[in-house]
């Protein structure tokens, strides 16, 4: 029997970051499953086609709505629920898949994807109105869901412990990265790098939304601790859009940029991000908490060695291919950066290990697991 799947794809209207990339890549891989008929919900309406790009001005419009409207999250949810119900009555999906912590009400089987439990471990990194809505709705949503997909075994264990869920309800479906992340030679990347004022394999890369959880302050401090000659040869490139509580980070970042040897690129689209990821000497990712850590996998697939924090899901994802530091040890991070800048033999060994590890992840595998979960949910 062909299954009709309603996938909440509203996140694709915003500039692509972690969950947006997940939805886009998973949906494309699911299209290769002829037994599934995908229908995509975009908040105000439904489409049978996947959105190719973000809605122009969406982030600015959404931010203004949150600032100006009282109870913006609840008001938006009421409107979305009405639009969802109208389309669901027409489409009659067998299963509804919600890729975030915000599932809408649906009379049939619901599949959720829980990427992390940041709101529990780092509530201070969430806007208060958003946090209240998550705390109010998530326990019932988790209890109601037929199946819950998780990106890592680490998050699966957290989820089962936090909500007392049976093991069979939580299914591991590891993420992958887009094929655009791959090794590239200097000649291919030179025009883009020159436009950005960068040199091939002559900069350190930091990728992540500007929010406290990503631990950018540690990266800035560790880079500042390098000898002046190394800082000059290997500037730090910071890539990421502003997130919650970004003011302190913006201030520290502005000081580092004005002092020299640090550059801020802001948000980059996939093409430019793949370019700088493949061209960097090292990717530094000392995040305090991740449900997966997609930038690590993107770097490894691009042939760029990674330094990560030794906590949460990151050792599970990168395994022995990464170099690890404690997320509060800037001295250790400085030292590991220095080693990978100066030791070409070590750098080549780490590069090879990362490439091998990245080949163990694929969206085909993720989609196959997800399709099976849909079938289980439909028959539950």
Question: Tens digits of per-residue pLDDT, 317-363?
Answer: 999 999 999 999 999 999 999 999 999 999 999 999 999 999 999 99
112 with 198, same domain: the answer is: no
Banded pLDDT at 76 (limits 50, 70, 90): confident
373 with 285, same domain: the answer is: no
Calpha distance 231→301 (Å, rounded)? 26
Domain that holds residue 49: 3-176+362-378
144 with 218, same domain: the answer is: no
203 with 348, same domain: the answer is: yes
3-state SS class at 373: helix
pLDDT over 70 at 130, yes or no: yes
Enter the pTM of the model: 0.90
Beta carbons of 11 and 20 less than 8 angstroms apart: yes
370 with 340, same domain: the answer is: no
pLDDT over 70 at 66, yes or no: no
The per-residue pLDDT of the chain, averaged, comes to 91
pLDDT at 131: 79
Beta carbons of 231 and 136 less than 8 angstroms apart: no
Calpha distance 15→9 (Å, rounded)? 13
59 with 164, same domain: the answer is: yes
Banded pLDDT at 55 (limits 50, 70, 90): low
How far is it between the farthest Cα atoms of the chain? 65
* Residue 106 belongs to a domain: yes
pLDDT at 232: 94
Beta carbons of 22 and 175 less than 8 angstroms apart: yes
270 with 132, same domain: the answer is: no
Radius of gyration of the chain (CA): 21
CATH at 210: 3.40.50.2000
* Residue 53 belongs to a domain: yes
* Residue 292 belongs to a domain: yes
* Residue 181 belongs to a domain: no
What value does the mean pLDDT take over residues 262-282?
A: 95
124 with 27, same domain: the answer is: yes
202 with 148, same domain: the answer is: no
| Count of structural domains within the chain | 2
278 with 317, same domain: the answer is: yes
Calpha distance 348→344 (Å, rounded)? 6
* Residue 152 belongs to a domain: yes
The share of the chain scoring above pLDDT 90, in percent, equals 75
200 with 136, same domain: the answer is: no
Phi-psi region of 309 (alpha: psi -120 to 50; beta: other; left: phi over 0): beta
114 with 262, same domain: the answer is: no
């Amino acid at each position: 029997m062909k299954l009709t799947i309603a996938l909440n794809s509203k996140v694709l209207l915003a500039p692509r970051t972690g969950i947006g990339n997940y939805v886009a890549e998973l949906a494309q891989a699911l299209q290769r499953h002829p037994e599934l008929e995908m229908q995509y919900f975009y908040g105000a309406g439904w489409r049978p086609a996947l959105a190719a790009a973000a809605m122009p001005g969406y982030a600015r419009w959404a931010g203004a709505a949150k600032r100006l409207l009282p109870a913006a999250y609840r008001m938006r949810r009421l409107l979305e629920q009405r639009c969802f119900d109208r389309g669901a009555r027409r489409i009659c999906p067998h299963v509804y898949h919600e890729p975030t912590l915000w599932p809408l009400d649906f009379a049939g089987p619901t599949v959720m994807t829980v990427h992390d439990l940041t709101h529990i471990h780092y509530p201070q990194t969430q806007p208060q109105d958003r946090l209240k809505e998550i705390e109010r709705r998530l326990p019932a949503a988790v209890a109601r869901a037929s199946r819950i997909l998780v990106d890592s075994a680490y998050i699966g264990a957290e989820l089962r412990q936090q909500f007392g869920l049976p093991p069979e309800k939580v299914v591991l479906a590891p993420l992958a990265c887009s094929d655009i992340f791959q090794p590239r030679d200097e000649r291919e990347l030179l025009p883009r790098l020159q436009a950005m004022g960068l040199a091939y394999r002559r900069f350190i890369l930091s990728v992540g939304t500007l929010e406290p959880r990503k631990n950018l302050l540690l990266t800035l401090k560790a880079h500042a601790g390098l000898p002046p000659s190394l800082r000059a040869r290997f500037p730090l490139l910071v890539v990421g859009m502003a997130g919650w509580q970004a003011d302190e980070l913006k201030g520290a970042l502005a000081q580092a940029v004005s002092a020299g040897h640090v550059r801020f690129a802001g948000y980059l689209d996939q093409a430019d991000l793949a370019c700088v990821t493949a061209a960097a000497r090292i990717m530094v990712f000392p995040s305090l908490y991740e449900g997966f850590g997609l930038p690590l996998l993107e770097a490894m697939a691009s042939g760029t060695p990674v330094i990560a924090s030794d906590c949460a899901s990151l050792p599970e994802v990168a395994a022995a291919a990464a170099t690890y530091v404690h997320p509060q040890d800037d001295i250790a991070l400085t030292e590991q950066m220095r080693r990978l800048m100066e030791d070409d033999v070590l750098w080549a060994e780490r590069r090879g290990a990362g490439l091998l590890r990245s080949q163990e992840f694929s969206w085909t595998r993720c989609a196959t697991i997800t399709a099976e979960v849909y079938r289980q949910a439909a028959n539950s």
